[in-house]
Amino acid sequence: NGQGTCYNGCGFVQVSSTVRAGMALQAGTSATFGLRYYSGNWWVLYNNTWFGYFPGSLWGGAFTSANSVSAFGEVAADKAPSCTDMGDGAYGSSGGASWISNFQLYGAGSAPRFTVKSTDPSYYNSGSVTATSFTLGGPGAC
């Protein structure tokens, strides 16, 4: 909706009492995430729980399908550089790094095309990239 940054807000409507936008995820576990346009809103899924949505009215109903989706790892901190691990703390270019896999665009007839980049590869980076996955992570500036 034209805002450069907007975490856990921007009109998001929370509907679950057990899953919340911005909640900490446990390192070393797998999860399923999803976004789907349904009944005029963009619904967000985490491990089989539709936990909230962005009302279609935020965009005047103009966006009813997706042809481009961003997936990323991020560390949010009060100041840079951060001492916070991304993923499990292993660099994305090393073995055992965190990953995003089985990525797909619902209803698409072909595999996604990834462009993977790191904003500060000395602290966090990416590694192996396939048609449906990539590794990412790092230990931060500690």
Residues in the chain: 142
Please name the amino acid found at residue 94: S
- Phi-psi map region of 8: left, alpha, beta (phi>0 left; psi -120 to 50 alpha): left
DSSP string, 41-85: EEEEEETTEEEEEEEGGGGTT---S-S----------SSSSP-PP
Q: pLDDT value at position 5?
A: 62
> Mind listing the pLDDT tens digit for each residue in 17-60?
999 887 878 777 788 888 899 999 999 999 999 999 999 998 88
> Mind listing the pLDDT tens digit for each residue in 69-79?
777 677 777 77
What does DSSP assign to residue 138?
B
End-to-end CA distance of the chain: 35
Q: pLDDT value at position 91?
A: 93
Q: Residue 120 class from Cβ within 10 Å (0-12 exposed, 13-18 middle, 19+ buried)?
A: middle
**Residue corresponding to tokens 């539709």:** 50
